[in-house]
Structure 1
């Protein structure tokens, strides 16, 4: 397991004391330097966490994608839903209307997340965590803006448009798509960035910086 890093998919093998875990798949969480073992979150309903020597790990193709919750440190996986993603995009103009449409995606439609886009190049995506205060919402946010590094992520992921990164980020969620003009998009993005916090995490599903955001009514 050379050049291993958190988030990589692995398979356990060669275990003797816990032979029942051989063949179990999971992903690396962090390396314990003193113990010289990897913390591994195993796939399964209970998401069992074990400490494993590098010699008992081999790389595997991921079946699921994970990210670390920036507040709790909990390993998260995309939630599943029985509702199909069939909604067509709506168009919203005016910063107030756009902001209301984002909140409405949670409070009125009970969506798992929202993607706001402007053309093929710019988008922000928010995965809703729950209500906040008087009509606000907690969530995690990623965005692709005019920043060259964000645009490089779009090209690196072979996406035809930035909105595809939003779909990657919100995998397993029902999503409301909102299209808008460039002025309102960047006004909304600036508003949400002021209410967001980045703890140095990169979302593994989209490849973009992962922010915690508190959106007030």
Structure 2
């Protein structure tokens, strides 16, 4: 945000970024640890319930959780870079803290997708609508790369992205639509890159052979 400096005539100085911590600063590490532990427990239980693996489910869950944590940090860094390109300063650790706090919604969505297989009728459709299209068997069967990249596309993910966009627009005093547009653009770019990469690793041409 830019504000006129009375002692500098028509020159401008940058004011303090208005982005509050999602919790008191001392509580952020505890909130992050709780979110990561819940994700680790969710992945561990999911792996343990799946086909037998020579690797320990807890170890696989730790690897997946570490990858998720690094993804949160990297995604926050990309948001900082995107706003810097627009001429705005975004505080890295605060946006990372907010991203981590909102990842609790992602964890809940993951749980709904898994539980949707045990539900029927309207309850199952509600779980898929909230948790993401990855709960649909037809989506998982058609294209594994697409299913993995966009599995979380649902109401809770939309709420998470909107709240993250609002926090950024509030921080730099930009229109709400701008914050959401930056967030959605980065989200879509990461999902498309994930889809393309997973297809290549599976021996297919990118984007399901489109």
TM-score, structure 1 as length reference: 0.22
* Structure with the higher fraction of residues in strand conformation: 1
Q: Say which structure is richer in helix.
A: 2
The structure, 1 or 2, with the larger RCO (C-alpha pairs under 8 Å, 6+ apart) is 1
